[in-house]
Amino acid sequence: MTKTTDYLVKSITKDGKFRAYAVNATQLVEKAHEIHDTWSASSAALGRTLIGTVLLATAGLEGEAGMTVKIQGNGPVGYIIADGTANGTVKGYMGNPHVNLPANSKGKIDVAGAVGTKGTLSVTKMAPGDKTPYTGEVNLVSGELGDDFTYYLAQSEQIPSAVGLSVFVNPDESIQVAGGFMIQVLPGASDEEIGKLEEKLKSLPLVSEMLRDGDTPEDILGKLFGDQLKILDKMPVRYECNCNKQRFAHALESISADDLKKLIDEDHHAETVCQFCGKKYEFTEDELQLIYDKKLADAAADQETAAKEGTKTPNTDQK
């Protein structure tokens, strides 16, 4: 199959009663598989989380805002963490990338078995300058993740929705196709119209089946809404990590002075590894010494400030 460029479609029905999103994220999930060396069940679980995150982030964020989705289930993959942005980038990692399981009762990858059926899904939204980011959390309802994202939207954001997520893994563990959709009910939709949509969703093939048949994101939404859709935007999506050495320097600043001193005196260097992309950053003994000296200087400055504030004469005038 010829690989196509990953992209996401945003749309709304012409009557303004439903918002609809669909995405082909095949290359995105393949890159995650290559970075983390995921096995089939882990690939499907991480892939679905990444797709769900990119759908939520592109639908619910603006500007430079970011979103972190965390799945914590009782299955063998452990935790899954994904970061998404409004511009369609996403990255993620998981506790155990090497999970293979027998197929489930439907002959599909057992994502619920990998994730677990007990646990939580949390979403944290962060905008530049926010001191207290918003976090919403719900219990897992199935572990299949599409159902869990749907439940999160209904419970935490009060948006009746339907989310479909799908990853098809080849026998050699590479990703053949991956994608998803998200439908949101807007004010004004009648119970009858919602019921008709639910019936169409029941008969809709799996996203992976539609993508393998060559369907585009527009085709997927067309199966649900026909010619009643107005396309609002098409945007590329990709797996992208924005890590850099400075971020890891800040992380080293956060460890204790004693631990930093130990790295300098005993190891004479430090190596940090990005969990999202696997990139390694080396810090020489001299670089560690600079971080250590700065930490001591900052601590001394904080103590001096605290001492000055402690000697201020309190104002006891009562008016």
Output the pLDDT for position 127: 86
pLDDT for residue 264: 93
Taking only the tens place, the pLDDT of each residue in 239-253 is: 999 999 999 999 998
Pairing of strands 238-239, 89-94: parallel
Domains identified in the chain and CATH numbers:
7-239 (3.55.30.10), 245-309 (3.90.1280.10)
What is the pLDDT at residue 1? 39
* pLDDT band, residue 4 (cuts 50/70/90): low
Give, as one character, the DSSP assignment of residue 264. I
- Neighbouring CB atoms inside 10 A of 203's CB total 7
The CA distance from 290 to 281, in Å, is: 16
Place of tokens 């019921």: 195
- Mean pLDDT confidence for 39-63: 97
Burial 292-318 (b: 16+ CB within 10 A, else e): beebeeeeeeeeeeeeeeeeeeeeeee
193-223: pLDDT as tens digits: 999 999 999 999 999 999 999 999 999 999 9
Report CA Rg, the chain. Answer: 24
Contact 28, 91 (CB under 8 A): no
Long-range interactions of 262-266: CB distance < 8 A, separation 24+: 263/288, 264/288, 264/289, 264/292
In whole numbers, what is the pLDDT of the chain averaged over residues?
Answer: 93
- 239 DSSP β-pair partners: 90
Between CA 178 and CA 6 the distance in angstroms is 10
Helices (H), 10-145: 26-36, 40-60, 111-115
Quick check: helix, strand or coil at residue 178? strand
Q: Residue 318: is its pLDDT beyond 50?
A: no
Residue type, 220: I
Distances (CA, A) of 290 to 244, 249, 270, 282: 18, 10, 13, 14
Q: For 155-179, what is each residue's pLDDT tens digit?
A: 999 999 999 999 999 999 999 999 9
